[in-house]
Amino acid sequence: MPELPEVETVRNELAPHVIGRRITGLTFEWDGIVKKIPVEDFRDGVIGQEILALDRRGKYLLFRLSSGQYMIIHLKMTGSLLVQKTGDELPRFTRAVIHLDNATDIVFRDPRKFGVMRLVKDPASIVGKLGPEPLKDDFTIGVFRERLVNRKAPMKALLCDQNVIAGIGSMYADEVMFDTGIYPVRLPESLSDEEKDHLYEAIRRILWAAIENKGASINTYYRPDGSEGTAHFEFNVAHRGGQPCNVCGTPIERMVVRGRGTYYCPKCQLDKSR
């Protein structure tokens, strides 16, 4: 958390507030949020710059500045970007504040201090190794099948591997595999062409639906206006351990796959290795 739908929602809702605005100041409540360069160098490179565009790559937000550099923000597990008027009381866990020229602040709130801010000339230095964007037109079924060739990791881990496909995390990987009836530790070489096609379609459909629902507010994710998303109300397995499956009534179980908590229905997603 946040994953592609949450970060895309932030981009969509933050863009009207920041594009065309000039950054007039930066306040850091925790200097550790800036990586790779000294905080003062970051501040010098950002203050006074106009934000020309705001894009998303995987789970990263890319602010294109008038200097030609990019301010890149990764919300990580618990980060949020909140819009408020300059002078309003800052929320708890504020780590940084971006001050704009229209008396608006962008507040980076992050309870667990995992979030990151970077300033780079070339965004490829940060996002260049990411896999394809699953919602782009050039992400075809052929591209998806190619990404699975010679992969030895279980499907849950592959779907979460940002170098394989960008933006999918644990929640939506669980939902995709439930939708396709695939046991989380199945290997890609065991999948039929029909299962691969179903996976491809489910990835795109489930991610688009989550964006329409403004992301999932399972824990600490908030939209820029401070409201919550509703995508989690549509979840079948993710974060529903012990609850009955919406399809068959069997209690949802949890396992750990390559260090990630994984939710699945043991009846709808049969372990075909047994």
| Residue 59 annotated as catalytic | yes
Which of 21, 56, 57, 59 is catalytic? The answer is 59
| Residue 272 annotated as catalytic | no
| Residue 111 annotated as catalytic | no
CB-based burial label for 24 (10 Å; 0-12, 13-18, 19+): middle
Which of 3, 6, 8, 175 is catalytic? The answer is 3
Which of 204, 258, 260, 267 is catalytic? The answer is 260
| Residue 260 annotated as catalytic | yes
Would you report the helix, strand and coil content of the chain in percent, each value rounded to 5? Answer: 30, 25, 45
Q: Which of 60, 80, 82, 81 is nearest to 71 (CA)?
A: 60
Cα gap 244→151, rounded to integer Å: 33
Question: CB under 8 Å to 208, separation ≥6 — which residues?
Answer: 135
DSSP letter, residue 188: G
Active site residues: 2-3, 59, 260
